[in-house]
Amino acid sequence: MLKIENLHAELEDQDKQILKGVTLEIPAGEVHAIMGPNGSGKSTTSYVLSGRGGYEVTEGTATLDGVDLLSLEPEQRAAAGLFLAFQYPVEIPGVGNMTFLRTALNAQRKARGEEELSAAEFLKLIREKAKALNIDADMLKRPVNVGFSGGEKKRNEILQMAMLEPRMCILDETDSGLDVDAMRLVADGVNALRSPERSFLVITHYQRLLDHIKPDVVHIMAGGRIVKSGGPELALEVEQNGYADLLAEVS
Ligand code: ADP
Ligand code: MG
Ligand code: MG
């Protein structure tokens, strides 16, 4: 599924190296978490995978089902099955949520050589998905994210994920200041969308989220690399003891 090997990346305009050899493999159906101190490169990892500008990959590879992600445009990465939860957090005044999702979904289908969904087919699908996720039909008609509360934005992210049916979902929850309710929403959404064919990478600064999303593997990132991997108990260890002991142990 997702395979990252010895990934090195730097800031394009500063020659500042941020990722210093990230190696990570996430098999189909598994949920992996990345934790780590601030500034360790967690968000950068997801940005580089998504193809966001401003970063230069200087070494290493990243493949999804054997497809070289790094050579693809961001839209092609999405078509290959990669979804990043922060990909569409922007507010888009004047564009209805439904219109936006239909455009995104059909663009993805087109890139995959699949037929676009008709308006009726799309409506049926989005109603089903919204209902399954307990999402109010009202939210579908509002302009994308405009005036959405934090919780509504999270709900919308989960809906986008459900509609696009990605193989690999990456959620970076580090800086979103999730309150307990929003955390629940994210966790319930992820749990509802877990399947043997779909994998998740949940990036989080806090252990709390992992109380609700039980990860198969927890990775600790520090200084631009994964320095330790283990089971869910690793997250508890971090919660109890912080990073200092753990990092001293691996350095
Ligand atoms: P994390 O998500 O683990 O907190 P980041 O990936 O956001 O860490 O950042 C990793 C490091 O790269 C930090 O030291 C940060 O200051 C630096 N960094 C990231 N993006 C930029 C940027 N655009 N300009 C300057 N420094 C950056
Ligand atoms: Mg450079
Ligand atoms: Mg971050």
77 token code pair: 């990465």
Average pLDDT over every residue of 66-70? 96
Average pLDDT of 202-223?
90
Task: Give the tens place of pLDDT for each residue, 23-36.
Answer: 999 999 999 999 99
Mutational test site, ligand 1, from 7, 11, 50, max ligand atoms within 8 Å of CB? 11
Centroid of ligand 3 to alpha carbon of 5 (angstroms): 20
Task: Give the DSSP per-residue string, 118-185.
Answer: PHHHHHHHHHHHHHHTT--HHHHHSEETTT--HHHHHHHHHHHHHHH--SEEEEE-TTS---HHHHHH
What pLDDT, on a 0 to 100 scale, did the predictor assign at position 174? 59
Q: Which helix (H) or strand (E) holds 57?
A: strand 55-64
Angle at 201 between CA 196 and CA 206, to 5 degrees: 130
- Residue of the CA atom closest to atom 27 of ligand 1: 11
What are the pLDDT digits (tens) for 138-196?
Answer: 888 888 888 888 788 888 888 999 999 999 999 987 555 677 887 888 899 999 999 99
Three-state SS sequence of 171-220: EECCCCCCCHHHHHHHHHHHHHHCECCEEEEEECCCCCHHHHCCCCEEEE
Q: For residue 86, report the distance from its CA to the centre of ligand 3, in Å.
A: 11
Domain architecture of the chain: domains with CATH? 2-250 (3.40.50.300)
| 169 close to 88: Cβ distance less than 8 angstroms | no
ipTM entry: 0.93
Is the whole model's pTM more than 0.80, yes or no? yes
CA of 180 relative to ligand 1 center, distance in Å: 26
CA dihedral (107, 110, 114, 115) positive or negative: positive
Give first-to-last CA distance, the chain, whole Å.
29
CB neighbours of residue 19 within 10 Å = 26
Ligand nearest to the CA of 173: 3
Q: Is the CB of 44 under 6 A from ligand 1?
A: yes
Three-state SS for 1?
coil
**Does the structure show a pLDDT above 90 at 91?**
no
The residue with greater pLDDT, 249 or 14, is 14
pLDDT in tens, 94-140: 888 899 899 989 988 998 899 999 999 999 999 999 988 888 878 88
Burial 55-78 (b: 16+ CB within 10 A, else e): beeeebebebeeeebbebeeebbb
